[in-house]
Amino acid sequence: MTLMTKLSGAVAALALTAGAVAAEPALIFDLGGKFDKSFNEAAFNGAKRWAEETGDSFREIELQSEAQREQALRRFAENGNNPIVMTGFAFGNVLAEVAPDYPETKFAIIDMVVDEPNVRSVVFNEHEGSYLVGMMAAMASESGTVGFIGGMDIPLIRKFACGYAQGVKAINPDANIVANMTGTTPAAWNDPVKGSELTKAQISQGADVVYAAAGGTGVGVLQTAADEGILSIGVDSNQNYLHPGQVLTSMMKRVDNAVYEAMTAGTDLETGINVMGIANGGVGYALDEHNAELVSAEMQAAVDAASAQIASGELQVHDYMSDDSCPALSF
């Protein structure tokens, strides 16, 4: 009996192991690469944290072209991966077509809403976090001119810019805000040379603080800002460490938490829309040893007060995507 009990236990263990492998989650990175030091890397860090805590593994793929979006989704679904997490609004149309074909598979998409019963749509209140770093930019600026450099010119990036401009104007109503987008195609997310050129152009217009919301392009913005002796603001991931003492702060968009939570939930992932803002820790600003000397007590107190007001609903930051307009900036 003892031998049979051991054999039964071994078979059960094998079955459980097989089941775990079948439900291995997958992560698909958007164009720009896994190690973009920004959006995709934040997603990777969330998956890595899940893997380290659980001892389990996940599948991943870095896209090289638009055509691979549907291929990757179907390949992972056919392979039994569950849930399948993807980063970026550009997966929206493809996921809307693919998800109904795999009703038993859970999908999580970041930065877009896909109305399917097996999809979790994670969106962020980027305008709220951008408002906070806009306040900091205005308080740190000596010239009264600050800059914004976006990646691809889409409503989502204008949402960052508009929140930032509102924060700047809250501190200095007379501030001048110079805003540029890198391009109109997905290549705009991974063009650090163009990011550098735009930064130099904004400096020539008087900008002494520049906020980059441009994926891998932002690496060029931060590098050039440091080289030219002005302050920069990072995005998505905490980018303060890239140029200690020269990155004022980073607008933290907790893509890592969104991926970590999706993988932790596994096949029990709750579908529907999940909004992550200041109130639930979805966005905020970064303060660490790399920028502590740049952030005065006055600056921190003002930003923390605004953060509390936004979280309580007392302070409403206009969302560009609600009506395609911005009260503080013209595009």
pLDDT in tens, 53-66: 999 999 999 999 99
Task: Please tell me the predicted confidence (pLDDT) of residue 10.
Answer: 37
Average pLDDT rounded to a whole number, residues 212-241: 97
**Residue 108 in tokens:** 């999580």
Q: In this model, does residue 278 exceed pLDDT 80? A: yes
pTM of structure = 0.89
Confidence band, pLDDT 50/70/90 cuts, at residue 267: very high
pLDDT at residue 257 in the model: 95
What average pLDDT does range 117-122 have in this prediction?
Answer: 98
Strand order across the beta sheet in which 231-236 lies: 176-183, 145-152, 209-213, 231-236, 247-253, 283-285
Using 50, 70 and 90 to split pLDDT, how confident is the model at 3? very low
d(C-alpha 173, C-alpha 165), whole Å: 10
**Architecture of the 127-252+282-323 domain:** 3-Layer(aba) Sandwich (3.40)
Domain 2-124 has CATH 1.10.730.10: no
Domain extents for the chain?
Answer: 2-124, 127-252+282-323
191: helix, strand or coil: coil
- Per-residue confidence at 211, pLDDT binned at 50, 70, 90? very high
The reported pLDDT for the residue numbered 7 is: 34
For the record, the structure tokens of 70 come out as 């549907």
Two domains, one topology: 2-124 and 127-252+282-323: yes
Q: State the CB neighbour count (10 A cutoff) for residue 80.
A: 15
* DSSP string across 246-267: TEEEEEEE-HHHHHHHHHHHGG
